[in-house]
Chains A and B, each alone.
Chain A
Amino acid sequence: MSFSLDAVGLVHPNGHRALQGVSLAAAGGERLAVIGPSGAGKTTLLRVLGAALRPGEGSVRLLDQAPWQLSAPALRGLRSCIGTVHQSPPIAPRLRVVTAVLAGRLGQWSALRALGSLLRPSDLPGAHEALSRLALEDRLFERCDRLSGGQLQRVGIARVLYQRPALLLADEPVSALDPTLADLTLQQLVRQSEATGATLVASLHAVDLALRWFPRIVGMRGGQVVFDRPVGQVDEAMLKALYA
């Protein structure tokens, strides 16, 4: 099992209930899309899957481990095997693209190598390869604050591709991209999952993209999983009910 959530519930500190009785599991190499209206809890779900949020109810198992029972170094090791594409790329603006991409493997590098790479990038070919998959290799040495929103989003994805995680989580990975680039990007994410056997979970606003690229669709609404079906079994009526 790549991950399994069992009756997970979460209430934010401000009292808002984000997740309620969520049970979800996937085997290694599976690809699922999470869809639903705004506020359905998709981001919270992905953060729980990324061992960034600890649920108040239920149990979580990620990559065959219980993350919140681990020691700090073990948790760090687990986290370095999970890659998250964030909704708005959390990248320091003055960083160059090459450094931002190489930051994907910080979890696997020693502190010395990490600091050295700031001065002299320690894996130029690797960064170049990750960026070329997203048609950004000509921006290798640019500063991130000189990029457009869509380009910056792709840099964030390149970072996760470079990381080669066993569990790939993507929170609205193509929200700032035009349809052509959105297709290219999702294609690359799917290819990565096929090539490395990583599990891919993506939350998407564009339902058509979800239906086109993912064999399994999970619908969320109001913090609960409304349906969890193979794409062939998802019909108009279910989608309408979801977004009503």
Chain B
Amino acid sequence: MSASFAAAPPRCLRCWATALAIVIAAAASFAWLAIDYGALFTGESLSLMGRFIAEFFPPDLSAAFLQKTAWGALQTLAVSALGTLLAAAGGALLALPASGRSGAWVQGATRFVLNFLRSVPELVWAALMVLAAGIGPFAGALALALHTTGVLGRLFAESLENAPRAPERALAQSGSGAVAAFAYGSLPLVLPQWVAYTLYRWEMNIRMATVLGFVGGGGLGQLLYFHLSIFQQPQAMTVLAAMFGLVALVDMASARLRRDLGPAHA
């Protein structure tokens, strides 16, 4: 009577076989990791965990430390802003060859570079940048810049490919140089989209910037890592709350901005 019975048995068999394979893979994973869950949930270890968690409360709300945390939050914001700004510039520069304006070979090479930049996670970049620029917020900003250049470069290139070429070609035909023809012909067409992509990535980068500090990228992350390493749980709790608050604030602000600017933003 119902269409679900019309599914042929061989297909159903495939589904069941796949489901079984997944369950086996999951079980094998647990077995392989050999995590002693028994020991994890004994009364003793649970009470140890409980005491560990209790040490986080109450959070350190002294004026001096709150000021330090606020400074860390501002630094995180600055890191995300600088990283995203650098990435927008880098992405714009790489988007031109990646959109095929200089030939297929250059396009392939540029796309490969952009993919590589994108594939390496921001935290790995941050660990590398700490080697190149020393521990601190600049390493975090560079890491965000590198990873986000890959992301924005590809988005920018796609929007360039979709934009009509007629304005730029007409300017080239009347003797304009390549840079000027692009700036007057194609850039006005894609700029609103590029700005929208960049703002969206900035929002995501604020979240990322908070954790890059774990490997030395400054800001709230570095503060949290530091205080956890010397077992100062109350201070760590304050920083955690600040991280949560920052992300919540950014969420609200972007939702509000999106509602206000919305489709009317030409």
A4 at the interface (CB under 8 A from B): no
Contact of A92 among B175, B177, B180, B188 (CB under 8 A): B188
- Does B266 contact A94, Cβ atoms closer than 8 Å? yes
- Does B188 contact A103, Cβ atoms closer than 8 Å? no
- Does B183 contact A118, Cβ atoms closer than 8 Å? yes
| A76 CB contacts on chain B under 8 angstroms | 175, 177
- Does A115 contact B175, Cβ atoms closer than 8 Å? no
User: In the complex, how many angstroms separate the beta carbon of B180 from the nearest chain A beta carbon?
Assistant: 4
| A51 CB contacts on chain B under 8 angstroms | 173
- Does B175 contact A107, Cβ atoms closer than 8 Å? yes
Contact of B166 among A79, A90, A99 (CB under 8 A): A90
A109 at the interface (CB under 8 A from B): yes
| B175 CB contacts on chain A under 8 angstroms | 76-82, 106-108
A84 and B170 contact, Cβ closer than 8 Å, known pairs A103-B176, A114-B180: yes
A83 at the interface (CB under 8 A from B): yes
- Residues facing A in B141-197 (CB within 8 A) are 166-167, 169-177, 179-181, 183-189, 191-192
Contact of A106 among B171, B187, B189, B192 (CB under 8 A): B171
A90 and B167 contact, Cβ closer than 8 Å, known pairs A76-B177, A114-B180, A115-B179: yes
| B174 CB contacts on chain A under 8 angstroms | 79-80, 82-84, 104, 106-107, 160, 163, 165
Interface positions of B (Cβ within 8 A of A) = 166-167, 169-177, 179-181, 183-189, 191-192, 266
**What are 9 A-B residue pairs whose CB atoms fall within 8 Å in the complex?**
A79-B175, A80-B174, A90-B171, A90-B185, A93-B188, A104-B174, A106-B184, A108-B175, A115-B179
Interface positions of A (Cβ within 8 A of B) = 50-52, 76-84, 86, 90-95, 99, 103-104, 106-109, 111, 114-115, 118, 160, 163, 165
